[in-house]
Amino acid sequence: MDVKEAIVGRRNVKQFKADEIERDQLLRWLDTARYAPNHRMVEPWQVVVVGPDARAALHHGANFGDAPVVLAFLSKTAEHPVDRDENIIATACFVQNFCLAAWSDGVGTRWTSIGTKPGAREILQVPEGYEVVVVLGVGYPAEVPVAKERTPIAEKLRELG
């Protein structure tokens, strides 16, 4: 699968098969993700493999679509708001790289905002100076959702003289 196919074909998967994800494969996708752009090579991301106890404590309504793997992606905070924003942007690039690398091997991801829930920081043992960007379910899709329609790019494009 080439990169354009992965970008267009990737979907936010709602429900996963029970098939396990091999740790080596998971690490390969994370290795690939490290090549994300990041200002001054801060590499602001950290990844937490969310084990069964932490996962249960998060009480996600849909149990992450029964994903066999749950990962939390953290970003380094910063005193200056611009630096903090840049770190979140770089971490989001890292996450998207991970999602695309997994997708190119037939594995899907499900985004959740559960990291913003009160208590999530403690459950995920987020270190001082980091914040949660997203918690992802990862696994083989039980079903691939139909792509939601996107706004034609012409409506989002302006040209300056």
Catalog residues that contact ligand FMN under the rule CB under 6 A.
11-12, 111-113, 145, 147-148
Beta carbon of residue 88, minimum distance to ligand FMN (angstroms, whole number): 10
Beta carbon of residue 160, minimum distance to ligand FMN (angstroms, whole number): 28
Residue 148 or residue 158: which is nearer to ligand FMN going by CB? Answer: 148
Residue 111 or residue 131: which is nearer to ligand FMN going by CB? Answer: 111
- Measured CA to CA, the distance from residue 131 to residue 128 in angstroms comes to 8
Beta carbon of residue 117, minimum distance to ligand FMN (angstroms, whole number): 10
Residue 8 or residue 56: which is nearer to ligand FMN going by CB? Answer: 8
